[in-house]
A and B are shown apart, each in its own frame.
Chain A
Amino acid sequence: QVQLVESGGGLVKPGGSLRLSCAASGFTFSDYYMSWIRQAPGKGLEWVSYISSSGSTIYYADSVKGRFTISRDNAKNSLYLQMNSLRAEDTAVYYCAREGSSGWYPLPYWGQGTLVTVSS
């Protein structure tokens, strides 16, 4: 079955960096677009970034553009989110989710999430 497992979250100081990973299994990873979505404590869901199956198309939410970088390694069935210049408002649970094979899709598969806390 489809499984997505995030890792890499933790406590980081403002201005610091963190790299999140998402290990995928149970499907042909290289066929699917992937997204990162986050949820601040007690708040709603916010889409963060999206990458096409080949990695050639990438989008970011305005709130993270220029600070976050999404990437993937299809040989390792892994998705990444490099987060730089972190701010307190980036504190959230970060989920990876599987998109469709092209374009925008609803999200039937999510990981369990990894918590990122930005605090001094």
Chain B
Amino acid sequence: AIRMTQSPSSLSASTGDRVTITCRASQGISSYLAWYQQKPGKAPKLLIYAASTLQSGVPSRFSGSGSGTDFTLTISCLQSEDFATYYCQQYYSYPSFGPGTKVDIK
């Protein structure tokens, strides 16, 4: 099974900040990597797939990069609606998710 790790597990930031979250796979997954945003009581929302492709309707302040084992999600200018938990997911094989990164208000 492919294990996914994320760092940090949580971070505090202010509106307007640039935020970067890292995801690492235990083995190479090419670009079969997605990022999700989840707010309390809601289902996850797909933000990025294929490591760097923005899902339709997602603001351009979200971007993704990486391939192989190391990936990043960047929010260029944090907005109030971006405070949430973010998960990475590999779909190279049996899907697995990272443990999540909670972004809260500083």
Indicate whether A and B interact: yes
**Contacts of A111 on B, CB cut-off 8 Å?**
43
Task: In the complex, identify which listed stretch (A8-16, A42-50, A71-79, A84-92) lies at the interface while the others stay far away.
Answer: A42-50
**Contacts of B43 on A, CB cut-off 8 Å?**
95, 110-113
Q: Contact mask A46-69 → B, CB, 8 Å, 1/0?
A: 110010000000010110000000
Whole-angstrom distance from the CB of B93 to the nearest CB of chain A?
7
**Contacts of B46 on A, CB cut-off 8 Å?**
106-108
Q: Is the interface of B mostly helix, strand, loop or mixed?
A: loop
* Chain A CB within 10 A, most for which of B34, B91, B92, B99: B91
The answer to whether B91 touches A106, judged by C-beta atoms less than 8 angstroms apart, is yes
A14–B34 alpha-carbon span in the complex (Å): 35
Q: Contact mask B90-106 → A, CB, 8 Å, 1/0?
A: 01111111111000000
A44–B36 alpha-carbon span in the complex (Å): 12
**Contacts of A27 on B, CB cut-off 8 Å?**
none
Q: Is the interface of A mostly helix, strand, loop or mixed?
A: loop
Contact for B94 among A59, A106, A107, CB less than 8 A: A59
Q: Given known contacts A106-B91, A108-B55, A112-B43, is B100 in contact with A44 (CB within 8 Å)?
A: yes
**Contacts of B49 on A, CB cut-off 8 Å?**
106, 108
The answer to whether B97 touches A46, judged by C-beta atoms less than 8 angstroms apart, is yes
A111–B46 alpha-carbon span in the complex (Å): 13
A110–B55 alpha-carbon span in the complex (Å): 14
The answer to whether A45 touches B32, judged by C-beta atoms less than 8 angstroms apart, is no
The answer to whether A45 touches B91, judged by C-beta atoms less than 8 angstroms apart, is no
Q: Contact mask B64-105 → A, CB, 8 Å, 1/0?
A: 000000000000000000000001010111111111100000
The answer to whether B87 touches A44, judged by C-beta atoms less than 8 angstroms apart, is yes
Contact for B99 among A44, A59, A110, A113, CB less than 8 A: A44
A88–B99 alpha-carbon span in the complex (Å): 20
